[in-house]
Amino acid sequence: MPRRTREHTGLSPREAERLRPCLDAFLASTDSRARIAFDPLEFPHRYRDPRDIEVSALLAAALAYGRADLFRPKVDALLQRMGSSPAAFVRALDVPRARELLQGFVYRFNVGTDVAVLLLGMGRALREHGSLEALFVRGLEARGSWHGALDAFTSALREVPMAPLREALGPERGLHHLLPSPLGPGAAKRLNLFLRWMVRGPDGVDLGVWKTVRPSALLIPLDTHIGRISKHLGLTRRNDLSWRTAEEVTASLRALDAEDPVRFDFALCHYGMSGVCPTQPVPENCSRCKLLPACSVGQKTARARSGTKGARGRR
């Protein structure tokens, strides 16, 4: 393997050619559609209108942290009460209706006021720009970078008068966690997840309702599962879950598919979530994994297991 410089800027062509067939085989063996039921992506899949899809998707992605069996009922209950058209609901939303919807709402770091800002911000975006897509594209054109575009997007959504909301629902608690502004150095996993849903596809997993942003511009939604597996596969040498690490992983994935670098994200993330590829490697799982030819940890685990068996056989 050629020696890399200190700054890892993605896979070399030779490394990409070695990894591509492994990832393609892995993706082909994954029943991604069956996994949608275990993913917050299930919520926007309920709708057909692009505006309903993007509103439900941003709400679901924003609250998709912690255990799925805890956040999914929260998102489901909100969407049920918002009626058949989430977009129509947020367009007409005002503070009294927000209070009616969100009084007493609590999910981990977030309270009703936090979610009200998100919903009111989406309603304002739809009224003034026609879509969340148009709001994001405006930021992309103005800032010229993906990070800048997301920062402009969340900042615009948070332009909601806070005094009436605080009076109606109490003070905000985890608003920055829900809608970070300024965006900061973190990977912004849930926001990039939302963008993947909107931009990629439609392919049975992602919805592809945004037509003015190309999939080639997407950044990997980096979480602990993607970070761990990416390091095993040589997509990054970094250990943190920062924006820089997400950029490094994405640069490596662009060497595999320049037009659609994050197409492996859903399958890889659920592979980690399922427990098949846990933090502590399971030798039996590694030996059957289609990623084994490219996985440094899997190969080390397999060699250790083989050595143990050989030692036992010599006794």
- Distance (Å, rounded) from C-alpha 203 to C-alpha 206? 6
The one-digit pLDDT tens for each residue of the chain (315 residues) are 333 444 556 788 889 999 999 999 999 999 888 889 889 999 999 999 999 999 999 999 999 999 999 999 999 999 999 999 999 999 999 999 999 999 999 999 999 999 999 999 999 999 999 999 999 999 999 999 999 999 999 999 999 999 999 999 999 999 999 999 999 999 999 999 999 999 999 999 999 999 999 999 999 999 999 999 999 999 999 999 999 999 999 999 999 999 999 999 999 999 998 888 988 999 999 999 999 999 999 898 878 776 655 545 555
- Distance (Å, rounded) from C-alpha 132 to C-alpha 123? 9
Are the C-beta atoms of 108 and 141 separated by less than 8 Å?
no
Q: Please tell me what DSSP assigns to residue 221.
A: -
Are the C-beta atoms of 117 and 98 separated by less than 8 Å?
no
Looking at the chain, which residues constitute the CATH 1.10.1670.10 domain(s)? 9-34+216-307
- Distance (Å, rounded) from C-alpha 221 to C-alpha 201? 16
Are the C-beta atoms of 247 and 218 separated by less than 8 Å?
no
pTM, rounded to two decimals: 0.92
- Concatenating the DSSP letter of every residue in 52-101 gives HHHHHHHHHHHT--S-HHHHHHHHHHHHHHH-S-HHHHHHT--HHHHHHH
Q: What is the CATH number of domain 9-34+216-307?
A: 1.10.1670.10
Are the C-beta atoms of 250 and 261 separated by less than 8 Å?
yes
- Token output for 115: 């979610």
Name the β-bridge partners of 110: 107
